[in-house]
Amino acid sequence: MCGIAGIWRRRGRDADVTAQRMSLRLVHRGPDDSGVWHDPAAGVALGFRRLSIIDTSPAGHQPMQSASGRFTVVFNGEVYNFEAIRRELMESGNAPPWRGHSDTEVLLAAFEAWGLERAVQRFVGMFGFALWDAHDRNLHLVRDRMGVKPLYFAPTPGALLFGSELKAMTVAEEFPHTVNRDALGLYMQYAYVPAPYTIYENVWKVRPGTIVTIDADGAYNEREYWSLRDVITRATADRFTGNDEEATDELERIVTESVKLRMISDVPLGVFLSGGVDSSLVASVMQAQSSAPVKTFTIGFREAEYDEAKYAAAVARHLGTDHTELYVTPSDAQDVIPKLPDIYDEPFADSSQIPTYLVSRLARQQVTVSLSGDGGDEFFGGYHRYFLGRKLWDKVDLLPRITRPFASAAMRAVPMGAWNTLLSPRRRFVPRFLRRERAGERIHKLARAMTSHDPDGLYHEVVSQWNDAVEGARDLPLGITTPASWPRIDDYTERMMYFDQISYLPDDILVKVDRASMAVSLEAREPLLDHRLIELAWRLPLGMKLRNGQGKWILKNLLSRYVPEHLVERPKMGFGIPIDHWLRGSLRDWAESLLDESRLRQEGFFSVPAVRGKWTEHLAGAGEWQGYVWTVLMFQAWLDARRRDGALAVSEPMPVVEAPLVSAGAQG
């Protein structure tokens, strides 16, 4: 696991110096080693920071060049099946002399033998890499199938910039620092900036499963080497026809192989354990393949509604893992907040970013690699909206279309706080089926859903926050808003799952985990996102995922082979924090300074009445607007950090290797 950055300047001047400065911004992603490779004639320089995981010797040093000298790579991530690829290359006679046993030199040998696209289609892993082709004078930027690892690029008039994180690119003089107001509108809607956009104008994310190729004239094109759309088309035409136990057997086979591959490491590794289905399954399969107790990590909160530590501890005791838990105080969690703009690099407002950072920091005290259960919810139906969405639409659809706007307005006219009081579980005179905690939030969400014209529109209302907060923002096309790009999925629930898989999962969940873990130099691996498991998930009938009003049925069925049902059979909890209470209490002064009315007007990004209105209602308890407010606060905090980040001090120069360098095929 590493950080990569680089520049291809048209006039070739000082590219190596800039690549050094860019790489220094990624020390947290790679504290163990560093390097820069520079071809002065071409004007290209590749920078690298290394977190040593596989082959920790100097033989794994990057940038690395192929045996023929044609390809030079900087590679972030892991190709877990590199040993199988190495054997295949050797058996076919296409293997160079090996210097070490890193996956990086296997990648380069595969490119030499099969070409870029055919090679990358064989990789099982998570990665973002830049590959310089000296023969064709092209630079290729490649990202893994689901977008586990990040990769950004900026094609400017004078140069091409790329990096694992935006902060590396901002040090280049060519970097465009202008806020993209349209992307800000997307951020306010989703609480993250969806790919391929970034918060900056003319700076882009490489899409998952995509190769971006840049030529000497600065022109670039992108092509997919793997497509979830195509996977779904094939899978739904070839549904799994076996019974429940046969399906569970096949699931176990693939999960076991996926976890086994992700246990390959030359450094200590462990697993995040929340006590939920996904992390418990990963920990169970991992422990079943380990001769020693697996290290498991969890954090807890004293507030009962946010605490999962007791469930994790029970699972750990049953499995016999070496378990570490840490109960954090509100001040522990709040101390992370000033770090968030730098950790996340662009505005990002999933408040579970805080506990994710804390559990990563806890794990890093003992291990360098940690497995996680990310992906189980999206591919196996873990979110409430998957089995409530259809019911909600059926209720909305009962109302005549002409009356829906009036009913919606009437429901929203009553403040959330009033609904909360009226329908509180403690109100004995209210029918039991109407009583709910935070009923106002649910009712206001239902009111918004009532304005939808179709089920897909309802999904967008459910997952959206601000729709009109950014002054002058235009709509930008996204995969989830472009029906022509969707595979044919007749079932509405499966369509919601697809939407989450191409948006919420890569742009929220995986961003959260990557930045939080890499901020403390910890590699996070996601076995439930193995592309072969994804293919099986889409072959399985929906009834094997959602059953009896609950999600992830087949994952639970598999988990029951390792852990008694009573240890994990409980309502789903989010990985959350009491941000609503904090904003009314200890964080109020901080929030007030960022939401100052005169400041908002001067900056000119937001509709001031909309923002101040939500904040005022939240403080008064008239609405649970913490998600909306947190989204604004994370942008404001990011804006402050970028203003402070104007001049960057550069130190710790790295060695620069001029082309040609020692190749991956050379003997050390």
Average pLDDT for 547-564: 94
What tokens appear for 169 in the block? 């690119």
Q: State the pLDDT confidence band at 400, using cuts at 50, 70 and 90.
A: confident
The secondary element (H helix, E strand) that includes residue 653 is none
CA distance 18 to 162: 12
pTM for this predicted structure: 0.91
pLDDT number for residue 648? 28
Average pLDDT for 251-258: 98
pLDDT number for residue 437? 58
pLDDT number for residue 667? 32
pLDDT number for residue 606? 94
Q: State the pLDDT confidence band at 410, using cuts at 50, 70 and 90.
A: confident
State the distance between the two ends of the chain, measured CA to CA, in whole angstroms: 23
CA distance 99 to 57: 10
Q: Does the pLDDT value for residue 307 go beyond 80?
A: no
pLDDT number for residue 460? 85
Average pLDDT for 489-494: 94
pLDDT number for residue 653? 44
Q: State the pLDDT confidence band at 440, using cuts at 50, 70 and 90.
A: low
Instruction: Name the residue with higher pLDDT: 467 or 51.
Output: 51
Q: Does the pLDDT value for residue 668 go beyond 50?
A: no
Q: Which pLDDT tens digit goes with each residue over 570-579?
A: 766 666 688 8
Q: State the pLDDT confidence band at 163, using cuts at 50, 70 and 90.
A: very high
SS3 153: strand
Q: Which of 7-16, 163-172, 312-321, 541-550 has the lowest mean pLDDT?
A: 7-16
Q: Does the pLDDT value for residue 518 go beyond 90?
A: yes
Q: State the pLDDT confidence band at 420, using cuts at 50, 70 and 90.
A: low
What tokens appear for 653 in the block? 């120069």
Do 366 and 322 touch, CB atoms closer than 8 A? Answer: no
pLDDT number for residue 438? 62
pLDDT number for residue 430? 54
The residues near 461 (Cβ < 8 Å, ≥ 6 apart) are 445, 448, 449, 451, 452
Q: State the pLDDT confidence band at 650, using cuts at 50, 70 and 90.
A: very low
Residue 275 CA to its chain's centroid (Å)? 21
Count of C-beta atoms within a 10 Å radius of residue 465 = 19
What tokens appear for 592 in the block? 């007030």
pLDDT number for residue 571? 64
pLDDT number for residue 63? 96
Q: How far is CA 579 from CA 84, 200, 308, in A?
A: 47, 28, 17
Q: State the pLDDT confidence band at 425, using cuts at 50, 70 and 90.
A: low
Class of the domain covering 2-226: alpha beta
The secondary element (H helix, E strand) that includes residue 244 is helix 244-261
Instruction: Name the residue with higher pLDDT: 391 or 124.
Output: 124
Q: How far is CA 265 from CA 1, 55, 103, 260, 371, in A?
A: 11, 9, 11, 11, 12
Quickly name the fold that domain 230-381+503-567 has.
Rossmann fold (3.40.50)
Instruction: Name the residue with higher pLDDT: 508 or 657.
Output: 508
Contacts 24+ apart (CB under 8 A), 245-251: 247/540, 247/544, 247/554, 248/554, 248/557, 248/558, 248/561, 250/536, 251/533, 251/536, 251/554, 251/555, 251/558
DSSP state of 542: G
Residue spans per domain, the chain:
2-226, 230-381+503-567, 384-498, 579-644
pLDDT number for residue 330? 86
Q: Does the pLDDT value for residue 455 go beyond 50?
A: yes
pLDDT number for residue 295? 98
